[in-house]
Amino acid sequence: MTSRDAKEALGKFTRRQLMELDTCAHCALCTEYCPVYMETEEPGHAPGVRSSKAVKLYDKQHGLRARILGPRPVTDEEVEELSDSAFNCTFCGRCMEVCPFGIQTHELWSKVREVVHDLEGTPRNVGMLEEMLDESQNPYGLDPDSRLDWADFTDLEEIPEKDKAEVAYFVGCTTAFKGANHEVAFATASILNMLGEDWTLLGEDEWCCGSPLLLAGDEHSAKEYAKHNVEVLESRGVKRLITGCSGCYRVFKWEYPKLLGGDLKFEVLHTLEYLLEKLESGELKPEKTDERVIYHDPCELSRLGGLIDEPRKVLAYLANDWVEFAEHGIDVRCCGGGGLLQASNNEARLAIAKKRLDEAKSLGAEIITSACPSCKLTFVDSAREHEVDIEVLDLVELVAKQLGIL
């Protein structure tokens, strides 16, 4: 990396972000809310320390001294330290919620990752994920042909792949390619069939939504993915896009308009919004379970996506007995599955999830439910690793189960 490249990379912070980096008082108020720091207790993983590291590198290239005497080189060790801090973060946004100065940490950490990407400091596993996306348009490196294999595994009888349809079900990579989530796709597809919707899957034309690319700091490629997915959906005349993935939902709803510079021509719904509509209209009539259920808010759906009341309204149709975590809704504690933590620190990911599972058990929950395939996968992996006995179901699986179709 030349000093010119380093200068350009570190020059990517916006004015607002530079002010925020300067404003961060390192008060550490956010530290005890950070699920990763609370797990690893590594000083470098504290959000305020990340700000200091970023400022230090920025100053070396753009600070007053650099402007008078010339920039100083950024060492590999410094880039590695910033990278370790930036990638030990689930992007849960909780630090943003508690920061007394209103620092928009979610956008700030995103920019830090972009800078690390440009400084060629991306962790090896995350870099491999980018390579797999390049080859197969999904972060698991699996053959794009197998994107609909979940339908075979689940014996789904009607698999619509239409040229034109009102509704498209955007399955998302973590649902399509991870066995733990195949029944999530099956439940969604079965409910759409049961309701007689004019709907379609996108099959091989569905590419990753681009969320992992944004999390890896590669906005340029994410834009290509956004462009592709939107073109495919528009060419099929889709009016409503339904997705059960909180990451896909947030990216379609909030990031695509920014990446593409305009509003989308179709409505973006999370599956649970669609389910609530059908429950309230009486088109879906599930039986209620007597098992005790607890709902975990996916960070990207609640704190970052604004869907807090909706899942609870859905749950009221499904369970006679449901309880809340102490930290829920906008204050939810992350499951550990966000921000590509699986690639950068899987041990921390599983340990963070265990705390959540233990709390669910202590509250007497028999079923833990969420509305995101990453949360489900993380809970399933952690329950297996740490031998916690609890049923993990996505909300749409619970709906299908109570309708008697799962």
Q: Binding of ligand SF4 at residue 25 (CB under 6 A)?
A: yes
Q: Taking the complex as a whole, how short is the minimal distance between the CB of residue 357 and ligand SF4, in angstroms?
A: 18
Three-state SS at 96: helix
| 33 vs 295, beta carbon nearer ligand SF4 | 33
Residue with tokens 């031998």: 387
| 19 vs 28, beta carbon nearer ligand SF4 | 28
Q: Taking the complex as a whole, how short is the minimal distance between the CB of residue 81 and ligand SF4, in angstroms?
A: 15
Q: Binding of ligand SF4 at residue 93 (CB under 6 A)?
A: yes
- With contact defined as beta carbons under 8 Å apart, do 172 and 209 qualify? yes
Distant-in-sequence, close-in-space partners of 67: CB < 8 Å, separation ≥ 6: none
| 115 vs 315, beta carbon nearer ligand SF4 | 115
| 101 vs 153, beta carbon nearer ligand SF4 | 101
- With contact defined as beta carbons under 8 Å apart, do 222 and 133 qualify? no
Length of the chain: 406
| 31 vs 402, beta carbon nearer ligand SF4 | 31
| 95 vs 368, beta carbon nearer ligand SF4 | 95
Q: Binding of ligand SF4 at residue 47 (CB under 6 A)?
A: yes
Q: Taking the complex as a whole, how short is the minimal distance between the CB of residue 61 and ligand SF4, in angstroms?
A: 22
Q: Taking the complex as a whole, how short is the minimal distance between the CB of residue 51 and ligand SF4, in angstroms?
A: 6
Q: Look up residue 162 and give its two tokens.
A: 């239409």
- Judged on CB neighbours under 10 Å (0-12, 13-18, 19+), 243 is buried
- Here's the x/- map for ligand SF4, 188-227, by CB under 6 A: it reads as ----------------------------------------
Residue with tokens 């939107």: 230
| 332 vs 395, beta carbon nearer ligand SF4 | 332
Q: Look up residue 317 and give its two tokens.
A: 């149709």
Point out which span in 93-101, 156-164, 213-221, 282-290 binds ligand SF4 (CB under 6 A).
93-101
- Interhelix angle 309-318/395-403, rounded to 10 degrees, is 20
| 17 vs 105, beta carbon nearer ligand SF4 | 105
Strands ordered across the beta sheet of 167-170: 199-200, 167-170, 240-243, 267-270
Give dist(CA 313, CA 395) in Å, integer.
11
Phi, psi of 240 (to 5 degrees): -130, 125
Among 94, 182, 270, 333, binds ligand SF4 (CB under 6 A): 94
Q: Taking the complex as a whole, how short is the minimal distance between the CB of residue 26 and ligand SF4, in angstroms?
A: 5
Give dist(CA 137, CA 131) in Å, integer.
9
Give dist(CA 244, CA 177) in Å, integer.
14
Among 18, 29, 142, 159, binds ligand SF4 (CB under 6 A): 29
Taking CA atoms, 41 is separated from 7, 32, 95, 97, in Å, by 32, 10, 16, 21
Among 10, 13, 21, 33, binds ligand SF4 (CB under 6 A): 33
Among 26, 220, 258, 265, binds ligand SF4 (CB under 6 A): 26
Q: For 226, how many CA atoms within 13 A lie in the half-sphere containing its CB?
A: 27
Q: Binding of ligand SF4 at residue 89 (CB under 6 A)?
A: yes
Q: Binding of ligand SF4 at residue 24 (CB under 6 A)?
A: yes
Point out which span in 33-41, 117-125, 152-160, 282-290 binds ligand SF4 (CB under 6 A).
33-41
Q: Binding of ligand SF4 at residue 36 (CB under 6 A)?
A: yes
Taking CA atoms, 199 is separated from 61, 243, 274, in Å, by 53, 12, 13
Kindly identify the residues of this chain, within the stretch 96-155, that bind ligand SF4 according to CB under 6 A.
99, 101, 103, 105
Give dist(CA 314, CA 312) in Å, integer.
5
Q: Which residues in this chain contact ligand SF4 in the complex, by CB under 6 A?
A: 24-30, 33-36, 47-48, 51, 89-95, 99, 101, 103, 105
